[in-house]
Amino acid sequence: MANDDIHLTVEPGEIHALLGENGAGKSTLMNVLYGLLQPDEGEILVDGRPVQIRGPRDAIAAGIGMVHQHFMLVPVFTVAENVMLGAEQVRGGPYGLLDRRRARKLVREVSDRYRLAVDPDRVVEDLPVGVQQRVEIVKALTREVDLLILDEPTAVLTPQETEDLLDVMRTLKAAGKSIVFITHKLKEVKAIADRITVIRRGRTVGTAPPDTSEEELASLMVGRSVLLRVDKGETRPGATVLSVEGLAVDDDRGHRAVDGVDLTVRAGEVLGIAGVQGNGQTELVEAIMGLRPIAAGTATLEGRPMRGLSTREILRAGVGYVPEDRSVDGLVRDFTVAENLVLDIYDTAPFGTRWVVRPDAIAASARKRIEQFDIRTAPAGSAAVGTLSGGNQQKVIVAREFSRPLKLFIAAQPTRGVDVGSIEFIHRQIVHERGEGTAVLLVSSELDEVLALSDRIAVMYRGRIIAVVPPDTPREEIGLLMAGVTTDAAGTPKDDTDE
C-alpha cells in the first residue's frame, strides 16, 4: 500500500511542502491528484466540490498542473512546440497548419508575467536542466492552472538553479497560485513553505509550521532521531592511492572540459571536489573510470597507469564507483534488485563463472545486502530496480560497491535525490570506508556535503583545480572560489573568469 488514509489540505495562494523520505508515497499521492493513478478510496475536493480525476485532462480542467521529477518534454522539439503539445491550435481552418506563432507569443506572455526567462524558439535538448524545468512550469501555466504540483523539483538542480526556482515559486505565490512542493530537503522547505505536511510510509504523520527545527522535521520523516551532522573523527592518511597529473579530457562536443588537472587522494582520506556543476567534474570522473578517453596527462592507481584500462578492469582493480546519473550509468532498470547488486561481479565466485550464474547465491547475497543497507523492496530482491524510489535505487548502488574490498571509492553526487535518512546512512558508509583505509574521491554540488565529509577540498572551475583548501575554510571563501574568484599574495580578490 503506497498511500494509506492520507489527508492533505492546500489553501489558495499557499506554498504547501509535502515532506517525506524516499518511498514514503509522496509521488504516488500527486499522481493520484493528477489523474495518472486512481485511488481505491477517499475523495478529492477542489473549491469544496468533489471531483473525479480520471486522467491529466480532468486534472487540468480542475485547475491542477504538475511538473514531474523526470521531465515530460520532447528533447528535439522547441520550447513553443513542447508547450503546445496536447493543446494544439491551428490556423487556416480545421486542416490548417499548427499555429506556432501563437504558441511562441503565449510562451513569451507567460514568461514575462511570472518572470520565467524562457526562449520559445530554443530546442529543449540544448537547454540546461534548470531552464527545462521552467519550460515545464510555463507549460502548466499556459493551461491556466490554480494549483501547481512540483515533484522533487530541485533533485537535479545546481544550488544557483535551486535559488532561481525558489524565486519563481515566490512569484507564483504572489500571483495567487497554490503550490504543492514535494521534497525531502529540509533547508528548502524551511526557506519557502507556508505549511509542511509530513508523510511516512504512506500515512500523514503531521502538519508543521516552517519554524519547526530541522531535527524535528527529520524525526517526523524517518520515525527516529537523525544525526544531521557527520561525525567522522580524525584522519590518518596513508600512501597515495590515486594520482592524477596534467589530466586533459574533452567533452562530447570536443571542447576541452578538463584542462591540466593535478590531484592526489591518499588512503584513509576523503578528497572532496567542490564546484558548480558543468566545470569538468563529470568528465574528470569518467576519464578516471575509463568511460571517457584521456586527451593528455596520466592517472595512476597505486602507481599503476589507468589509461587504456577498461572500466571492468578498473573496477576489478579495487575501485568502487557511484555514478552521477544512477538511472543511466548505475543500474539496469528492468533487472531485479538482486541482479543489480552483482552487476560487476556476477561472473565471480560464489555468484557464477564465465559460463553460468548461480541464482541461489545471488538471492542469498541480496537478502543480506537489503537488510544491511535498509533497501525498501521485496526481501529477496525480486522486484525490478526501476520500481524502487530514487533513494532506494541509490542504496542499491552503494550496497553493490561496498560489498567488495576497495582501494579507491569514487562517489559522484552520491546523495542526489536522496532523503535525509538515506543521506545519513550513505555518509556513515563513506566515513566507515575511509576508516578502513580506503581513499575516497567525492564529487558533489552540495557544498554542505563536501564540507561535512572532506579532509581536503579541491575547488574546480572551468576544468581546472584553482585551489585546495581545508574543510574549515569559510563557506563564503569557497563560494568565491567556485565562482572563479581567487586572491593574490596580498589577499586581494582576483577574478579568474577571463583567464
Q: Helices 420-435 and 390-401 meet at what angle, rounded to 10? A: 10
- Tell which of 222, 253, 278 closes a domain: 222
Instruction: Quickly state the pLDDT bin for 92 (edges 50, 70, 90).
Output: low
Q: How many angstroms from the chain centroid is the CA of residue 461? A: 21
Residue 99 lies in a domain: yes
Cis peptide before 12 (omega within 30 of 0): no
Distance of alpha carbon 366 from alpha carbon 363, whole angstroms = 5
Same domain, 330 and 435: yes
Q: Which of 488, 471, 499 has the alpha carbon at shortest distance from 274?
A: 471
Distance of alpha carbon 86 from alpha carbon 55, whole angstroms = 13
Distance of alpha carbon 406 from alpha carbon 397, whole angstroms = 15
Residue 199 lies in a domain: yes
Instruction: Quickly state the pLDDT bin for 169 (edges 50, 70, 90).
Output: confident
Tell whether the model's pLDDT for residue 489 goes beyond 50: no
Q: What is the CA radius of gyration of the chain?
A: 24
Residue 255 lies in a domain: yes
Q: Which of 72, 75, 106 has the alpha carbon at shortest distance from 88?
A: 106
Q: What is residue 328's predicted lDDT score, i.e. its pLDDT?
A: 80
Burial of 303 (0-12, 13-18, 19+ CB in 10 A): exposed
Same domain, 413 and 274: yes
Tell whether the model's pLDDT for residue 499 goes beyond 50: no
Same domain, 176 and 269: no
Residue 235 lies in a domain: no
Q: What is residue 64's predicted lDDT score, i.e. its pLDDT?
A: 92
Same domain, 284 and 212: no
Q: What is the Cβ-side half-sphere exposure of residue 199, based on CA atoms within 13 angstroms? A: 29
* Among 50-54, 404-408, 455-459, 485-489, the least confident range: 485-489
Tell whether the model's pLDDT for residue 247 goes beyond 50: yes
Same domain, 218 and 308: no
Residue 81 lies in a domain: yes
Instruction: Quickly state the pLDDT bin for 498 (edges 50, 70, 90).
Output: very low
Same domain, 293 and 144: no
25 DSSP β-pair partners: none
Same domain, 298 and 401: yes
Distance of alpha carbon 59 from alpha carbon 195, whole angstroms = 23
Type and span of the H or E element at 113: helix 100-113
Residue 403 belongs to domain with CATH number: 3.40.50.300
Q: What is residue 406's predicted lDDT score, i.e. its pLDDT?
A: 92
Residue 319 lies in a domain: yes
Same domain, 175 and 296: no
203 DSSP β-pair partners: 200
Q: What is residue 225's predicted lDDT score, i.e. its pLDDT?
A: 65
Q: Which of 183, 261, 135 has the alpha carbon at shortest distance from 17?
A: 183
Higher pLDDT, 208 or 420: 208
Distance of alpha carbon 422 from alpha carbon 20, whole angstroms = 11
Residue 234 lies in a domain: no
Tell whether the model's pLDDT for residue 166 goes beyond 90: no
Question: What confidence tens digit (pLDDT) does each residue in 331-374 have?
Answer: 998 999 999 998 888 888 888 887 888 888 888 888 998 888 88
Question: What confidence tens digit (pLDDT) does each residue in 113-144 have?
Answer: 888 788 889 998 888 777 888 888 888 888 88
Q: With pLDDT > 90 as the criterion, what percentage of the chain qualifies?
A: 34
Q: What is residue 428's predicted lDDT score, i.e. its pLDDT?
A: 87
Q: What is residue 313's predicted lDDT score, i.e. its pLDDT?
A: 93
Beta strands in 170-287 (DSSP E): 178-183, 195-200, 203-208, 240-250, 256-266, 270-274
Higher pLDDT, 423 or 52: 52
Same domain, 33 and 151: yes
Tell whether the model's pLDDT for residue 278 goes beyond 80: no
Distance of alpha carbon 17 from alpha carbon 15, whole angstroms = 6
Residue 232 lies in a domain: no
Distance of alpha carbon 111 from alpha carbon 91, whole angstroms = 23
Distance of alpha carbon 345 from alpha carbon 401, whole angstroms = 10
Same domain, 433 and 459: yes
Question: What confidence tens digit (pLDDT) does each residue in 153-164 have?
Answer: 876 666 667 788
Instruction: Quickly state the pLDDT bin for 187 (edges 50, 70, 90).
Output: confident
Residue 490 Cα distances to 125, 226, 499, angstroms: 45, 43, 19
Same domain, 188 and 332: no
Range of the domain at 113: 15-222
When pLDDT is averaged across residues 378-389 and rounded to a whole number, the result is 81
Q: What is residue 345's predicted lDDT score, i.e. its pLDDT?
A: 82
The domain total for the chain is 2
412 DSSP β-pair partners: 443
Same domain, 295 and 164: no
Distance of alpha carbon 343 from alpha carbon 338, whole angstroms = 9
Q: What is residue 200's predicted lDDT score, i.e. its pLDDT?
A: 86
- Tell which of 192, 222, 252 closes a domain: 222
Cell numbers at 292, concatenated: 571517457
Q: Are 434 and 235 in contact (CB under 8 A)?
A: yes
Q: Are 72 and 149 in contact (CB under 8 A)?
A: no
Tell me the range of 185-189, 300-304, 358-362 where mean pLDDT is highest: 300-304
Distance of alpha carbon 306 from alpha carbon 299, whole angstroms = 6
Type and span of the H or E element at 297: strand 296-301
Q: What is residue 315's predicted lDDT score, i.e. its pLDDT?
A: 92
Q: What is residue 352's predicted lDDT score, i.e. its pLDDT?
A: 81
